[in-house]
Amino acid sequence: MNIHEYQGKALFKAHGVKVLDGVHCTSVADALQAYDALQSKVVAVKSQIHAGGRGKGNLYCPNTGDLLMEGGVKIAFSREDVETYATNILGHVLVTKQTGEEGKLVNHLYVESGCDIAHEYYLALLVDREEKSVLIMASTEGGMDIEEVAEETPELLHKVNVDPNAGLMGYQVRDLGLALGLSGAAHKSFAKMLRSLYALFVQEDCAMVEINPLVRTGDNEMVALDAKVSFDENAEFRHKNWDDLRDLSEEEDVEIRAKETGLSYVKLDGNIGCLVNGAGLAMATMDVIKLYGGEPANFLDVGGGANEEQVKTAFSIILEDPNVKGILVNIFGGIMRCDIIARGVIAATEALDLNVPLVVRLAGTNVDEGKAILAASTLNIHPADDLADGAQKIVKLIGGEA
């Protein structure tokens, strides 16, 4: 789960990580008030969306598609600048290299004081899957695309893994500071910040915290100029405040509804809907559809113990996508019994007045009963023997080449 920069910075502030003064705004009037309150000669006017590349993105009018402004993060030198930038940003669509062509509607703005920058650094904390621990990455090459730094100048990317039993050690903090060429007050400021960030990462159950750029000011203070924070969704049960931080407009409505009913759904661009049990098999089903010349319309895992109602919800979610021209159901019954799935499929097709071709492949527990139930129905359901057979059948039925 991602949060906005302004929320991340509030979290930083609460944990003693130095940030500049700033105000979260949702209107141009708010932005002007923020400018007056901040009393800073220069301010940054920053679009708030859950995607990177904001500075180099472009703002478009959602109705006409006209280009309104280049750059989703602007430096304003006057009250008039703030008004112009805020007007161009709020209610408009920001397209960055991470948003895709459709871009994202900007509803939130962050107006932040300026500061005197001596150098820009990169700092991130994340979970290292291979080392099974928290990894800290830092570089003197701040403000850059860090993947490029890792690729082209890996010696400039410094890494430290934190032993979960020992926690972040003093020598690790010192070594990282030295690797960044910091000394004196700047080193001290960096050490304090890193300790606070590690504590924040653990206490708040983060998946990632990225600061790019982290800056050293003219006064040798380390300040987080950006804040990209994401949380581990599995830990939601112990963070009641995440509900308030969640920006639902940033998430696909249908994916949220799927999650509420215990389904895992991801929309894709193809035209063959899939309904599968198990994440691995659901991915494999998409792969095999593609292998036989089709394009999957979605990933959908109904989980290990789906009931008739969930199967029905799954069908209705798949059918909401107007691109869907056919559906492939692929169930390997373990705990889930094929006869129950078969009944669920029939109930759903009847209730939803299904009018696209449906191929059903059943295997595993009670498969014979399941197949018999489908065969006895008068509905137009095409049975399949295995995954390859199912994929070929559905591709053919929607008029593709299999």
Partner 1 sequence: MGIWIEENAKVLVQGITGKQGMFHADKMVEYGTHIVGGCTPGKGGQTVELQGKNFPVWNSMFEAIEATDADATVIYVPPPFAGEAIMEAADAFDQIKGEGVVVCITEGIPTLDMVKAVAFVENRPGVRLIGPNCPGIITPGENGGAKIGIMPGHIHAKGRIGIVSKSGTLTYEAVAQTMSIGEGQSTCVGIGGDPVNGTGFIDCLAAFEADSQTEAIVMIGEIGGNAEQEAAAWAKENVSKPIVGFVAGATAPPGKRMGHAGAIISGGKGTAEEKFAAFEAAGIACAKDPSELGAVLLEALKKAGLRNE
Judge contact between 319 and 354, C-beta under 8 A: yes
Contact 47, 55 (CB under 8 A): no
Question: Whole-angstrom Cα distance, residue 212 to residue 27?
Answer: 26
Nearer to partner 1 among residue 247 and residue 251 (C-beta): 251
* Whole-angstrom distance, CA of residue 163 vs CA of residue 179: 20
Rounded Cα–Cα distance for residues 277 and 362 (Å): 11
Residue 364 makes CB contacts below 8 A (sequence gap 6+) with 331, 332, 333, 334, 336, 338
CB 339, min distance to partner 1, A: 14
The answer to whether 298 and 268 are in contact (CB under 8 A) is yes
Sorted by sequence, the CB contacts under 8 Å of residue 253 that are 6+ apart come out as none
Rounded Cα distance between 43 and 20, Å, is: 10
- Residue 122 a catalytic site member: yes
Q: Tell me if residue 308 falls in helix, strand or coil.
A: helix
Helix 253-260 to helix 308-320 angle (10° resolution) is 180
Closest approach, Cβ 368 to partner 1, in A, equals: 13
How near is the Cβ of 320 to partner 1 at its closest, in Å?
18
Tell me how far, at minimum, the Cβ of 300 lies from partner 1, in Å: 9
Cβ–Cβ < 8 Å for 28, 81: no
Burial of 218 (0-12, 13-18, 19+ CB in 10 A): exposed
| Integer-rounded Cα radius of gyration of the chain | 26
Query: Is 121 among the catalytic positions?
Result: no
User: Residue 227 or 288: which CB sits closer to partner 1?
Assistant: 288
Q: How far is the CB of 289 from partner 1 (least distance, A)?
A: 8
Least distance CB 6 / partner 1 (angstroms): 22
Nearer to partner 1, 83 or 251 (CB): 251
Of the chain, the end-to-end C-alpha distance in Å amounts to 39
By beta-carbon proximity to partner 1, the closer residue of 76 and 362 is 362
Note whether 282 and 379 are within 8 A (CB): no
CB of 232 to partner 1, least distance (A): 5
User: Contact residues for partner 1 (CB under 8 A)?
Assistant: 127, 129-130, 132-134, 147, 163-165, 202, 205, 207, 232-235, 237-238, 264, 266, 268, 276-284, 286-291, 296, 299, 301, 304, 332-335, 363-365, 386-389
Nearer to partner 1, 20 or 387 (CB): 387
* Displacement of CA 325 from its chain's centroid (Å): 28
**Catalytic one among 112, 210, 221, 250?**
210
**Residue closer to partner 1 (CB basis): 372 or 388:** 388
For residues 159 and 166, give the distance between their C-alpha atoms in angstroms, rounded to a whole number: 17
The one catalytic residue in 6, 110, 121, 122 is 122
Question: By C-alpha distance, which of 59, 134, 141 is closest to 95?
Answer: 59
Closer CB to partner 1, 282 or 394, in the complex: 282
- Picking from 92, 85, 94, the residue whose alpha carbon sits closest to that of residue 112 is 85
Active site residues: 122, 210
